[in-house]
Chains A and B, each alone.
Chain A
């Protein structure tokens, strides 16, 4: 850590300071140093770039770019800032993509949303945003949304025209007598969900894939700035509904850090309990999708059966099966009636009764092994290079789990261990989900027991302890928080202004973005049959892909 700090100090910085336990926060004086710093960091071992997040300070005329570098092995992280002029003509900086492959799409996103141009980027095209925003930068503070909104019909027409144009140009470059063609895999496709892969293939063989995303783009990061701090959880929760609790936890932590409140032990244990419940419900879907994509629906159905019981618990606690909005800055939203644990117990019993069967039939399935044990392999180096996280990283043997690296809520009181697989193939990722499912259930059991004991001997009051007050107006500040989401690392970067009633900027770094970026890399030279399999094994959710 000290070494890293010293290394940064060699460059001209406005400040270099410690931040939280495993972060260093620094600001470069000049953007010209960026490439040198990045090179130095890479040799130092910080090989992953988590995300690139611009913040638009319109009043100062500054576009501040935040880089989050991570070292997944030694857990040393760097938060690097650099200022750019805000003016569109000169808002440009060296691209880090040649050094950090993971920067690729993140820089494209920053370009499409804020108009920051990255020099020497190999492929700086628009991403996510729809065609009607071409040459407009929707996340800039001075973008006139209302004027844009008035033109809805023309805008949609523009999207249609662009799509038609793309289709007509699709095969112009291809020789007419070759068997090469371009397939649109999605968005109306049984296995795709709202995403479109432009698959350039030769018969069955894939030549390249260009994912076209943004079909469920809701501009969440912009939407939160229109809401107050409590209202924003509605948007944050919809990052992806499969595991909504943990994304709310991340947001709540960032708000609490700026407000300077600490939550009660009861609330932190509840966050663990609810978070793992949501993780389980997500993992159930993930396992089901993996097999669905190989044409077998049985596992999805069986999982759905068990999942319902966990949703029952969420429903008894919050009143909603999925859209729980159960985590709020300051704690958890509702008190706990101990009878709600009966529902949870039912779910756990159901889980225990079924899990062996699932393991025997599906996890050890020989056909599945034959099909998936060799495809989509990722080595540990590639994980670092592409900044992958969550089950995808752990399936390749990389020991990274934010619950352990940077414990939040009550995870530091639980003795967790890294669960990893070795080979990093599609099958390993599936087995990884399964193993994690089991460990989540173990965590829930522990948390439940702890809460029950603490309530019994009067340390916790389940109906009063759930919230501490968070002021409606927050001071100027900024914070980052990371949570281990069902799919991997979610990094929230929250910026507030003086006496803020609503977030000024909230960057949500979601794992599916990086995972989808891998599709082209993994699928080149494979066959069409591997698309759904690898897509399913990467455990992508379109919600957090587009945000």
Chain B
């Protein structure tokens, strides 16, 4: 019995599907990571058309005020267990748009990310490495950061 459960846990960590949601220019490098040279499908990552089948939500860079509700909704639509990966400087502290007030400066305070990937935009290798870190987190049984807290729980969207 234990063995079977272990197997399912392992399967969970090895198969990560991404919700299709671009909020910023980092999504360009995400497209490159899908492309022939980097080909993240080798590691079992795959984009899905609808958030209902996704395991990972990628915050691809900047989150503008206008798109934040849509982002939260997408997150809410995903089935448990779900993880969040934040790409780029923007999703950490606003990055180059730090001075712009149309942009949420710290989206991960609202929707805490499990893994941050540095860069502007992060290179495809970095994106893949970041996703590997998510796998590791799942294997170690660490619950996702967003389920532990974050402003999103207090917001209505």
A227 CA to B21 CA, complexed, in Å: 30
Given contacts A241-B25, A322-B28, contact A152 B35 (CB under 8 A): no
The answer to the question of A218 belonging to the interface, with a C-beta cut-off of 8 Å to chain B, is yes
Cβ–Cβ contact A223 & B68, under 8 A: no
Chain A interface size, as a band, is 35 or more
Given contacts A156-B69, A215-B64, contact A226 B102 (CB under 8 A): no
Contacts of A194 in B (CB 8 A): 22-24, 67
Contacts of B120 in A (CB 8 A): 323
Cβ–Cβ contact A149 & B25, under 8 A: no
Indicate which residue in B22, B37, B69, B103 contacts A193 across the interface (CB closer than 8 Å).
B22
Mark out the residues of chain A between 210 and 231 whose CB falls within 8 Å of any chain B CB in the assembled complex: 214-220, 222-223, 226-227
Contacts of B46 in A (CB 8 A): none
With both beta carbons as reference points, the residue of chain B lying nearest to A149 in the complex is identified as B101
The answer to the question of A521 belonging to the interface, with a C-beta cut-off of 8 Å to chain B, is no
Mark out the residues of chain B between 1 and 45 whose CB falls within 8 Å of any chain A CB in the assembled complex: 19-25, 27-29, 31-32, 34-37
The answer to the question of A157 belonging to the interface, with a C-beta cut-off of 8 Å to chain B, is yes
Cβ–Cβ contact B62 & A216, under 8 A: yes
A226 CA to B96 CA, complexed, in Å: 12
Cβ–Cβ contact A218 & B68, under 8 A: no
The answer to the question of A455 belonging to the interface, with a C-beta cut-off of 8 Å to chain B, is no
Contacts of B73 in A (CB 8 A): 188
Convert B137-157 into 0s and 1s, putting 1 for each residue whose CB lies closer than 8 angstroms to a CB of A: 000000000000001000111
Cβ–Cβ contact B31 & A159, under 8 A: no
Convert B83-126 into 0s and 1s, putting 1 for each residue whose CB lies closer than 8 angstroms to a CB of A: 00000000000001101111110000000000000001101000
* B interface residues, how many (CB within 8 angstroms): 43
Contacts of A149 in B (CB 8 A): 101
Indicate which residue in B32, B66, B96, B123 contacts A215 across the interface (CB closer than 8 Å).
B66
Cβ–Cβ contact B35 & A308, under 8 A: yes
A291 CA to B66 CA, complexed, in Å: 29
With both beta carbons as reference points, the residue of chain B lying nearest to A239 in the complex is identified as B25
Q: How far is the CB of A83 from chain B (nearest CB, A)?
A: 28
The answer to the question of A476 belonging to the interface, with a C-beta cut-off of 8 Å to chain B, is no
Cβ–Cβ contact A190 & B67, under 8 A: no
A242 CA to B20 CA, complexed, in Å: 19
Given contacts A187-B70, A304-B31, contact A222 B24 (CB under 8 A): no
Contacts of A323 in B (CB 8 A): 120-121
Cβ–Cβ contact A217 & B101, under 8 A: no
**Residue from A138, A163, A194, A308 having most chain B Cβ neighbours under 10 A:** A194
Q: How far is the CB of A270 from chain B (nearest CB, A)?
A: 23
Q: How far is the CB of A27 from chain B (nearest CB, A)?
A: 32
Contacts of B29 in A (CB 8 A): 321-322
Mark out the residues of chain A between 235 and 267 whose CB falls within 8 Å of any chain B CB in the assembled complex: 235, 238, 240-242
Top 6 nearest A-B pairs (CB, nearest first) are A304-B35, A130-B66, A305-B36, A241-B25, A219-B102, A215-B67
5 other contacts beyond A218-B62, A242-B28, with CB at 8 A cut-off?
A155-B65, A160-B157, A301-B35, A323-B120, A543-B25
Q: 6 interchain pairs (CB within 8 A)?
A: A159-B68, A188-B21, A220-B100, A222-B100, A241-B28, A241-B121
